[in-house]
Structure 1
Amino acid sequence: MAEANDVHISQAVPTEAFLTEAWDRVRRRLRAELGEDVFSSWFARVELGGIADGVAYLTVPTRFLKSWLEAHYAERLRVNCTAELPAPNGLVLSVRQVSREAAPMPGASSVLPVRQAARPGSAAVEMRFAGAPQPAVGSEAPGERDLVDACGTSLDRRMNFESFITGKSNQLAFAAAERIAAAPAGSAPYNPLYIHAGVGLGKTHLLQAIAQEARNGGKRVAYFTADRFMYGFVAALKSQTALAFKEKLRGIDLLVVDDVQFIQGKSIQQEFGHTINALIDAGKQIVVAGDRLANDLEALDERIRSRLGGGLVVEVGDLDETLRAKILTSRLATLQAAHANFQVNPEVVTYVARVVATNGRDLDGAANRLLAHATLSGQPVTMETAEAAIRDLVRTREPRRVKIEDIQKLVATRYNVSRADILSERRTAAVVKPRQIAMYLSKALTPRSLPEIGRRFGGRDHTTVLHAVRKIEKQITEDRSLHDEVDLLKRMLQE
């Protein structure tokens, strides 16, 4: 939702020619900053899908490229896009659907597609609702990925309850997921169930397991990622089938939505909220996953956050060493089944599980590195070779994610004021200084835009945030004690 000073951007819709030129400028900036080799490898196939509600929608051809850009170049993309495009609220990166007409982005009336890959007569999004597994569509071959969800994207057969490894950090979430999947149609044991976890901790695995188990039991299930929900709704608007879309969606037994934090656009969020309310009122089960507590989902409408927080909220915590060892042992067993000569002794497993302490995806990476070393060198995996193979995983652990609320609370405590004071209109020196420091830290330690930071500080204008950031930047270069104080706050927030 845009600030007042951003409204003219969404109302005065930019032309296709303007967006094309602006996107070309973004590409030139990236090429100049990163060099031709890096640009050609990672950015040449990134395309601008359109602009909606102040958000730039970028697409890439593969999931791997999307994951790589998010992990290594997210901030670089955000900075260059917001500098050249009318997108003050940031950007969304998604995978293109090459086998179907390019789906439009949220806010159909204000989106100008820059590059079209449409085929005459093709459907933008195929909506399928069924109680039993269906064969895959498109070019995907039948096999492990031959279940199709309500949006036409496939569920992964491997992500089932049998393959989910439990430990102290995920036992409650697993038990709730099993209970919901096994419940008869029309029964909603926990409604809604909201699962939140960081990257690579298993929330998507649980959601896919719920969807598959419930569908195998004969229930009508719709499984969405956030971007597919947006695509489906906007495609229905453009094809004038929105009513049928809503009716189908509200006629299911179980709605499963992953990565809810990425749902963008006022109209999309309103429809999502209406759908949740209608299904809950009808006694239908809702399961939603996000990357943080519902109340911390800053971009979501407050009514949606309240609904999600009003059900059973379960956190999937960090993997402890015992659980990491079990996960790694399982991954290695799968690889050993396909490579008879690949063996890893228990001491190496214990070592890797101890030092790779981030998430399940990094454990997958560690297992693959050990396999690559063994198969390429022809040598057995020893402690020394394991240390060399996983060195980058040990060195590049993700820093702690800092939230604006955490910054506000810490600064308020440090300066003996309340968080309400920082968010208020009070202009006394005792409040203004910590407020400006908190704004500066929010810009320095989070990926949030200036308008978004302003909203989180009592609905202030982005120019107020910019003034605070520049003022603190200047003061910490002139005042050593303030420099040390701000540096201490940064370390406390990142530990």
Structure 2
Amino acid sequence: MTQEKDGAEMRDTARLDAAWSSIRAGLRRDVGARMFDQWLKPAQLGDYCPDSQTLDICFASDFTANFVSGQFGDRLQMVWRHAGVGVREVRLVRAPHMLGPRLLDLTDATPAPASGPMEPASPLSNFQPRHQFADFITGDTNQLAFSAAKGMAGEAAPRFSPLFIHAGTGQGKTHLLHAIAAEFSRHSPGAPVLYMSAERFMMEFVNAMRANETMAFKARLRAARLLLIDDIQFIAGKGSTQEEFLHTINELIDSGARIVITADRAPQALDAIDPRILSRLAGGLVADILPPAVGLRLAILEAKRAIAGDPPVPDSVIEFLASAIRSNVRELEGAFNKLIAYGQLTGRPIDLEFAQSMLADAVRANARRITVDEIQKACAAHYRIDPTEMRSKRRARAVARPRQVAMYLAKKLTPRSLPEIGRIFGGRDHSTVIHAVRTIEDLRQSNPDIDADVRALQRLLEG
């Protein structure tokens, strides 16, 4: 009887894990990568009761569980009920086992005592202990960022601060941030560490001003001996937030604290960011992470295969994945995990035909990813203007029309939102992008030359 029960539990676990993988992919697509990565990605499946068909989804703090419940609770209930895996009720709960090293979190942190040395407050709510330096596979495209991150985390004082890491989505920036935090906390367990996204920084600062608690906010920030800020591009155009951020990093640098900042592009390409902040960021070490070359993709997959267990993954599938999923490490690992999960769930051997069938959508999505930067350069070259004019404030027709064409193509050929496109084009408002798109749409109907230009540029970009 015990063996039957154990077997049923294992089948439940496999079924729920496979469903969770699919649900997570859908949530990330529906709520957006930024919200998903900050609030939903750290969630883990907890206890499941087959009698009541109740599933626990675990978070590392009550605050996070409550926030996710308020924002996404109904959606989670709905998607699990429709997943067909025997879940009727979802509970969002705090799970103490998820707590990582002693990191500060602005929401859960408590002020230090009035006297005596400041001790770190409660652990970081979305810390991910699985991200370690030992698990980060290196190659030519990420070696500098990896080495710089290890130097920042080491026992000896780093030779530079801040460290600025820039890369596209899914290339390993956040992995390195968590690895730095974990390594630093191991040799300096009493030193306060603060990790947060730039969006969270902005939200907490605004809340502190509204609650008349800015002094407490500043004290918590400036108590950190290691400050890690993810996706700094999201404070673009936020004047008061940028001013507070500048004062914070100035004080921390002067006090000898370590600072690590990430973004999706280099400091000089960040639009609507205070030049004083850019100067500070560029004054340390700037390291980029480029999309993984095929050799690195193969190494990542080999490392995954070594710990995956059954069913076995043949070399032909590894080579197929490495050649087909080129955009970023996260998608590459996700494709591999999907194959393993479905293979375990269905009992079907993983062969090349199975992999090609299961990953057809991912392969199509990786066929060609066009960036706004590519569009700007192509349009600048086509119209024979300096590429910097795409972000300039000049309104002369010779500059404004190519810029409008580039905005139109950015909206048509990339997944970027209107506000994101506006920020990349010199910090412009989303209404400017809307106007540009409508203008070019109208001109394509009435002006054959503009229509020909757009068609030629689109053919060039789609390659």
* Counterpart Cα distance in 1 of 2:64 and 2:31: 28
* Cα distance in 2 between the residues matched to 1:222 and 1:460: 32
Which has the higher mean CA deviation after the structures are superposed, 229-238 or 194-203? 229-238
Q: Which moved more, 1:228-237 or 1:272-281?
A: 228-237
Counterparts of residues 134-149 of structure 1 (less than 5 Å): 139-142=94-97, 145-149=99-103
Change (3 A) 1:321 1:468: closer
Decide whether the 8 Å contact of 2:409 with 2:458 is kept in 1: yes
Match of 2:63 among 89, 93, 100: 100
Count of equivalent residues:
380
Q: 2: distance between equivalents of 1:73 and 1:154?
A: 18
- In 1, are the aligned partners of 2:407 and 2:433 still within 8 Å (CA)? yes
CA contact (8 A) 2:376 2:387 kept: yes
Partner of 1:221: 193
Tell me how far apart the structure 2 counterparts of residues 435 and 95 of structure 1 sit (CA, whole Å): 36
**2:359 aligned residue (370, 382, 390):** 390
Q: Deviations over 1:358-403 (max 9, x none)?
A: 2222222222232234323333322222222322221222853533
Determine which of 165, 174, 194 is the counterpart of 1:195.
Answer: 165
Equivalent position of 1:258 in the other structure: 230
Q: Distance between the aligned counterparts of 1:453 and 1:343, measured in 2?
A: 47
- Contact 1:224–1:257 at 8 Å: present in 2 too? yes
- CA gap of 1:445–1:211, structure 2 versus 1, over 3 A, is same
| 1:312, distance to aligned residue in structure 2 (A) | 1.2
Change in Cα spacing, 1:234 to 1:399, as seen in structure 2 (3 Å) is farther
Which digits, 9 at most, give the CA deviation of each residue in 1:5-32, with x for residues without a partner? xxxxxxxxxxxxxxxxxxxxxxxxxxxx
What is the aligned partner in structure 2 of residue 176 from structure 1? 148
Question: Are 1:366 and 2:338 matched, yes or no?
Answer: no
Following superposition, the deviation at residue 263 of structure 1 comes to 3.2
Distance 1:371 1:451 in 2: 35
- Asked if 1 retains the 8 angstrom alpha-carbon contact of 2:195 and 2:228, the reply is yes
- Describe the shift of the 1:148–1:299 C-alpha distance in structure 2 as closer, same or farther (beyond 3 A): farther
Instruction: Note closer, same or farther for the CA distance 1:330–1:476 as it changes in structure 2 (3 Å cut).
Output: same
**Deviation sequence 1:233-264 (CA, Å, 0-9, x none):** 33433443321321232232211111222336
* 1:353 lines up with 2:297 in the alignment: no
Report what 1:243 is aligned to. 215
> Does the C-alpha gap of structure 1 residues 333 and 431 become closer, same or farther in structure 2, counting only changes over 3 Å?
closer
Q: Could you say if the C-alpha distance between residues 480 and 73 of structure 1 is closer, same or farther in structure 2, counting changes exceeding 3 Å?
A: farther
| 2:312 alignment partner in structure 1 | 343
Paired AA for residue 229 in structure 2: V
Q: For residue 463 of structure 1, report the CA deviation from its aligned partner.
A: 6.9
Indicate how the Cα distance of structure 1 residues 103 and 305 shifts in structure 2: closer, same or farther if over 3 A, else same: farther
1:453 to 422, 431, 436: 422
In 2, Cα distance between the equivalents of 1:67 and 1:369?
11
Measure how far apart 1:288 and its partner are: 0.7
1:114-152 Cα offsets, whole Å, 9 max, x none, are 99x9xxxxxxxxxxxxxxxxxxxx712315x53353113
TM-score, length basis structure 2: 0.70
Q: Report the Cα distance in structure 2 between the residues aligned to 1:415 and 1:300, rounded to whole angstroms.
A: 28
Where do 1:282-431 residues align within 5 Å?
282-336=255-309, 341-397=310-366, 399-403=368-372, 407-419=375-387, 423=392, 425=394, 427=396, 430-431=398-399
- Closer, same or farther in 2 for the Cα pair 1:493/1:347, shift >3 Å? closer
Q: In the alignment, is the contact (CA less than 8 A) between 2:21 and 2:338 conserved in 1?
A: no
Q: Equivalences for 1:40-51 in 2 at 5 Å?
A: none
Structure 1 residues 139, 345: closer, same or farther in 2, change over 3 A?
A: same
Look up the match of 1:71. 29
Against the structure 1 CA distance between its residues 249 and 401, is the aligned structure 2 distance closer, same or farther, given a 3 Å change threshold? farther
Q: What amino acid does structure 2 have at the position aligned with 1:347?
A: S
> Does structure 1 residue 482 correspond to structure 2 residue 455?
no
The one-letter code matched in structure 2 to 1:141 is P
1:286-342 Cα deviation digits (max 9, x unpaired): 101111222323353333233223321111111122211221222233321xxxx42
Structure 2 CA distance, aligned partners of 1:311 and 1:228? 24
Aligned equivalents of 1:375, 1:63: Cα separation in 2: 13
The 3-state SS of whatever aligns with 1:201 is: coil
**Helix, strand or coil at the partner of 1:289:** strand
Q: Which residue of 2 aligns with 1:209?
A: 179
Any idea what the Cα deviations from partners look like across 1:88-115, whole Å, max 9, x if unmatched? xxx97763898239999xxxxxxxxx99
Q: Distance in 2 between matches of 1:411 and 1:287?
A: 34
Instruction: Return 239-248 or 94-103, whichever deviates more.
Output: 94-103
CA distance in 2, matches of 1:321, 1:298: 32
Q: CA deviation at 1:419?
A: 4.8
The one-letter amino acid of 2:97's match is P
Which letter does structure 1 place at the counterpart of 2:174?
T
Q: Distance in 2 between matches of 1:452 and 1:349?
A: 36
Question: What TM-score comes out, normalization by structure 1 length?
Answer: 0.66
Identity of counterpart residues, as a percentage? 37
Query: How has the CA–CA distance of structure 1 residues 101 and 239 changed in structure 2, closer, same or farther, with 3 Å as cutoff?
Result: farther
Counterparts in 2 of 1:210 and 1:391: CA distance versus 1, 3 Å: same
Deviation, 1:344, is 1.8
Query: Residues 139 and 450 from structure 1, CA distance in 2 versus in 1: closer, same or farther, beyond 3 angstroms?
Result: closer
Q: Over aligned residues, Cα RMSD in angstroms?
A: 3.7
- Any idea what SS the aligned residue of 2:165 has? strand
Opposite residue 63 of structure 2, the aligned amino acid is R
Which runs of 5 or more structure 2 residues have no equivalent in the other structure? 1-19, 41-58, 74-92, 106-123
Distance of 2:459 and 2:222 partners within structure 1: 48
Could you tell me how far apart the structure 1 residues matched to 2:296 and 2:420 are? 41
Tell me the residue number matched to 1:161. 133
On the 8 A contact 1:325/1:349 being kept in 2, the answer is yes
SS of 1:194's equivalent in the other structure is strand
Is the alpha carbon distance of 1:139 and 1:63 closer, same or farther for their aligned partners in structure 2, counting shifts above 3 Å?
farther
Which one-letter code corresponds to 1:71 in the other structure?
Answer: R
Q: Relative to structure 1, is the Cα distance of residues 460 and 271 closer, same or farther in structure 2, using a 3 angstrom cutoff?
A: closer
Deviations 1:18-70 (A, max 9, x none): xxxxxxxxxxxxxxxxxxxxxxxxxxxxxxxxxxxxxxxxxxxx999786455
